[in-house]
Structure 1
Amino acid sequence: MTLDRFYPIFDSADWIERLVPLGIKLVQLRIKNAAPEVVDAHILRAKSVCADHGCTLIINDYWQAAIDAGCDYIHLGQEDLDDADMNAIRAAGLRIGISTHDKAELRRALALEPDYVALGPIYPTILKKMKWHQQGVAKLTSWRELCGDTPLIAIGGMSIDRAQGAFDAGADVVAAVTDITLHKCPEDRVRAWIAATR
């Protein structure tokens, strides 16, 4: 399966319902610190709109909820891997993306034969406090060599202006978060992203 080069990440089904119909083909639902019933409701709403628009939906962290909802793709951070039941995830046929920040994490991720590996933050990000400083575009090139055929996603402080540099350095996909959600017109920004990456 080939991943679309534009990978927005949203923290609610509200965003997904609003923006996926514009032509997004790959999207992540990343909800943090919500009650299980809230998570389940957002997953089902997101799954419905993505199915209607031929968009691949990736659920962050909540692998059991993703299995229960019949989703087929999850994203796990390194801390998520500590608690995830990989046997159950594999048995459910879920595809998996994994976050990485250093070579030890990359080795751990690749050992699980993921469907993609993400590296970040490439640039400083305001999204969350991280112990990792910006990785820089050059690190994508070394990750590209280490990842082999595994798709590589660049995340963290990404914008349309920075996307081509990430692609040139070896990224297959660029993930965007606040560049869209904090934009004065998120719809226009999504359209611009799609135009820039296809």
Structure 2
Amino acid sequence: MILPSRIYPVVDRAVWVDRLGGAGARLIQLRVKDLPADDLRAEVRMARAWASRHGVCLVLNDYWQLALDGGIDFIHLGQEDLDTADLAAIRRGGIRLGVSTHAPDELDRALSVGPDYVALGPVWPTKLKQMPWAPQGVERLGEWKRLVGPVPLVAIGGITLARAGACIAAGADCVSAVSDFIGAPDPEGQVRGWLAATADVPPSPHAQ
């Protein structure tokens, strides 16, 4: 498949789907942590409504049961989530699947479940959360793209506006970030900047 955008903001609340979707983002992940069940369901419903309004492909992190119940386009799973998620139910529900990878064995496992995209990270050091993996570097993106072939490759981890184009040139199909969007002084302007920075970058030969 082809992802609907070269940029992929990850957000922690539904209101960001409205703000960033209104600014032109067309692929947004809702990654909510530590909310009571009722509040979580409300956030997912709100995010879906904003996504529908703006034509955004909404990705829900982790909560595959809520994605099935709420008609969400996409679910994103980490390696540990693959241990417990009902992948057959996800597929029967028509939900597309993205999987995080950080090492060759994780990539092998991800490809074995037929993902609709694979994410590689962290490309650069990130302060958002503690990572047991060393930064991958942009060169690893080309290596990963050769291995995944036609499966879209998402780069994540320490990516900024200034670094986004280099990730596309190295082999990523799409670039993702959290703080560089929702932590920016002008998040909507940041979306427009990322779109411009990635629009005219030719894909790596590994992406052909």
1:122 to partner: Cα distance: 0.1
Aligned mates of 2:192, 2:169 — CA distance in 1: 22
Aligned mates of 1:47, 1:184 — CA distance in 2: 25
Aligned-pair identity (%) = 51
Q: CA-to-partner distance for each residue in 1:142-180, whole Å, 9 max, x for gaps?
A: 101110110000000101111111111100000021111
Greater shift in the superposed pair: 175-184 or 118-127: 175-184
Aligned mates of 1:188, 1:22 — CA distance in 2: 8
Aligned mates of 1:78, 1:64 — CA distance in 2: 17
Report the 3-state secondary structure (helix = DSSP H, G, I; strand = E; otherwise coil) of the residue aligned with 1:106.
helix
Greater shift in the superposed pair: 137-146 or 15-24: 15-24
1:91 to partner: Cα distance: 1.2
Aligned to 1:64: 65
- Contact 2:141–2:155, Cα closer than 8 Å, also in 1: yes
- Contact 2:8–2:176, Cα closer than 8 Å, also in 1: yes
Gaps of 5+ in 1: none
Following TM superposition, the consecutive aligned residue runs of length 4 or more in structure 1 with deviations greater than 6 angstroms are: none
Question: Is 1:93–2:94 an aligned residue pair?
Answer: yes
1:82 to partner: Cα distance: 1.1
1:37 to partner: Cα distance: 1.4
Aligned mates of 2:28, 2:103 — CA distance in 1: 24
Gaps of 5+ in 2: 200-208
TM-score normalized by the length of structure 1: 0.97
Between the two proteins, the alignment pairs up a number of residues equal to 198
TM-score normalized by the length of structure 2: 0.92
Question: Is 1:172–2:173 an aligned residue pair?
Answer: yes
User: What do you get for the CA RMSD once the two structures are aligned?
Assistant: 1.0
1:193 to partner: Cα distance: 1.3
Aligned mates of 1:14, 1:52 — CA distance in 2: 12
Report the 3-state secondary structure (helix = DSSP H, G, I; strand = E; otherwise coil) of the residue aligned with 1:118.
strand
Report the 3-state secondary structure (helix = DSSP H, G, I; strand = E; otherwise coil) of the residue aligned with 1:133.
coil
Q: Which residue identity lines up with residue 129 of structure 1 in the other structure?
A: Q
Q: Which residue identity lines up with residue 38 of structure 1 in the other structure?
A: D
- Contact 2:27–2:58, Cα closer than 8 Å, also in 1: yes
Q: CA-to-partner distance for each residue in 1:99-134, whole Å, 9 max, x for gaps?
A: 000000000000001000000000001111111121
Q: CA-to-partner distance for each residue in 1:11-31, whole Å, 9 max, x for gaps?
A: 110222222111111100001
* Aligned residue runs from structure 1 range 148-187, under 5 A: 148-187=149-188
